[in-house]
Structure 1
Amino acid sequence: MTDVNRRQHLDRLYALLKVLENRLGGTRKLKDCTGYMDWPDRGVYFFLEPGERRDSTDQLRVTRVGTHAVSAGSSTTLWNRLKQHYGTGSNSTNHPHGGNHRGSVYRKRVGEAIIEKHDLQEDYPNWGDRWSGIDRDRAEVRDEEYPLERRVSAYIREQPFLWIEIEDEPGPDSDRALIEQNAIALLSNFEDQTIDSRRNDWLGKHSRSREIRESGLWNVNHVEQTHDAHFLDVLAEAIDEMPRR
């Protein structure tokens, strides 16, 4: 894959995302979303970031790609996954506007970067640990981590995002998995020429993960792969089939 081809494919991806944005009637932010909105059962989402723009245009840069239900038999819906990233609401009786980063890798990675940027390691010693590896009272840990969960919520809920409806069956060979994996591979600068450079103050540059720092995405999986441009045709067809909202 030449750099020229990758640039051309990136240009086409972003052109398709612009068509998708028009089809959706604009981007959304999680802070404005609820489960009562007209969400498809299944889809792929693209998070953008304010202030992060492409080198060649003023279009916001994609900073995370995700989907759900890629294991056979999974019943997770698109909103279920987005709600995990959103966290808890204002009506939560315990830790409002917080969240559970152990249920959302996106939240976990953002929190890690905040810890590294502000030298908060001593304040949040268990942030990267699974519950099975923590020999402490869970309620105590949740209380301790609540301020950071709120910061993560505030950050993620301000990220504009788009989604594409793809109602295929759950499984690793689904069109959703194809689009997610290849979009990440195309967008990633990991061990590749830098295209659409990241700002020096992009939070992801403080990540503990080399894959995040160098790819410019809040993704770790698939950032080292080479994309198959066929996914762009699959994405274009899916956008063309979506109803206007």
Structure 2
Amino acid sequence: MSRQRGLNRFYGLLSDLTNRVGGTRKLKDCTGYMEWPARGVYFFLEPGTTRASSDQSRVTRIGTHAVSAGSSTSLWDRLKQHYGTGSGSSNHPHGGNHRGSVYRKRVGEAIIERYGLHDDYPDWDARWSSIDRDRSAVRDEEYILERRVSAYIREQPFVWLAVDDEPSPESQRASIERNAIALLSHYQRAAVDPRPDGWLGNDSRSEKIRESGLWNVNHVDEEYDPTFLDDLQAAVDDTASV
């Protein structure tokens, strides 16, 4: 199967999935009280930009959770990490923890690069173990950027795929995530659906993000197995709205 045909089938299935779940959602409108599937794969879309061959919004982030044996993380647990803190947070409402969400971390990096904010956020890339300062002071310092990251991510439409298999690196969820990223990635290959110049990811520090057109780093340099689309179709057929 050619990559173009694979992409067309993928986006066709994504359209079917969107219809099955009653349309895309935005994290700003979501809560844990919704009937999320226990486990699944999620696809974030870039608002206002479409594929070169159609009016479908492009996928810019793919993820799953609980791929380590014994992990109990749910789909909503992972989405909540990207969402950040709510209005009821006593210290940092509508902020978040980019050290617990790679998606948040990468979006924040790109904002720093785009607007030249390096001096304002010197520890954004650093792990806690390497920061020789009071953690509460660092959190206070990073709060404004965490809010900007929350505002950006919460406006990204997304859809989810229910795949309730056991946590494992060999799980079907991990396979769908890995192969979907490899299929959509432009890294070191011709861009079938190039991102517009204004996409925030173009300012990322990561070459893989800039060149792949995805907020993903893992699997963007791999080849995809076309048979994963059959597994994707089966999972779409089994997914219900929340």
Matched, 1:197 2:190: no
Q: Which residue of 2 aligns with 1:85?
A: 82
Q: Which residue of 2 aligns with 1:242?
A: 239
Q: Which residue of 1 aligns with 2:225?
A: 228
Q: Which amino acid aligns with 1:57?
A: S
Q: Which residue of 1 aligns with 2:143?
A: 146
Q: Which residue of 1 aligns with 2:177?
A: 180
2-side partners of 1:93 and 1:51: how far apart?
34
Identity of aligned residues (%): 69
SS in 2 for 1:140: helix
2-side partners of 1:144 and 1:174: how far apart?
39
2-side partners of 1:52 and 1:125: how far apart?
32
Q: Which residue of 2 aligns with 1:40?
A: 37
SS in 2 for 1:232: helix
- CA RMSD in angstroms comes to 0.8
Matched, 1:171 2:168: yes
Superposition deviation, residue 151 in structure 1: 0.1
Q: 2:20 aligns with which of 18, 23, 27?
A: 23
Q: 1:218 aligns with which of 209, 215, 219?
A: 215
Matched, 1:114 2:114: no
The gaps in structure 2 that reach 5 residues or longer are none
- Give the structure-1-normalised TM-score: 0.98
Superposition deviation, residue 37 in structure 1: 0.3
- Give the structure-2-normalised TM-score: 0.99
Structure 1's consecutive aligned runs of 4 or more residues displaced over 3 angstroms after TM superposition are: none
Q: 1:94 aligns with which of 82, 91, 95?
A: 91
Q: 1:54 aligns with which of 48, 51, 55?
A: 51
Superposition deviation, residue 7 in structure 1: 0.5
Q: Which residue of 1 aligns with 2:8?
A: 11
Q: Deviations over 1:171-194 (max 9, x none)?
A: 011000000000000000000011
Q: Which amino acid aligns with 2:121?
A: Y
Superposition deviation, residue 244 in structure 1: 4.5
Q: Which residue of 2 aligns with 1:206?
A: 203
Q: Which amino acid aligns with 2:213?
A: G
1-side partners of 2:195 and 2:19: how far apart?
25
1-side partners of 2:236 and 2:113: how far apart?
38
Count of matched residue positions in the alignment of Structure 1 and Structure 2: 242
Q: Which residue of 1 aligns with 2:154?
A: 157
2-side partners of 1:122 and 1:96: how far apart?
24
Q: 2:129 aligns with which of 126, 129, 132?
A: 132
Q: Which residue of 1 aligns with 2:70?
A: 73
Moved more, 29-38 or 49-58: 49-58
2-side partners of 1:86 and 1:217: how far apart?
18
Q: Which amino acid aligns with 2:108?
A: G
Q: Which amino acid aligns with 2:51?
A: R
Superposition deviation, residue 52 in structure 1: 2.1
2-side partners of 1:207 and 1:144: how far apart?
21
Moved more, 234-243 or 121-130: 234-243
2-side partners of 1:228 and 1:43: how far apart?
20
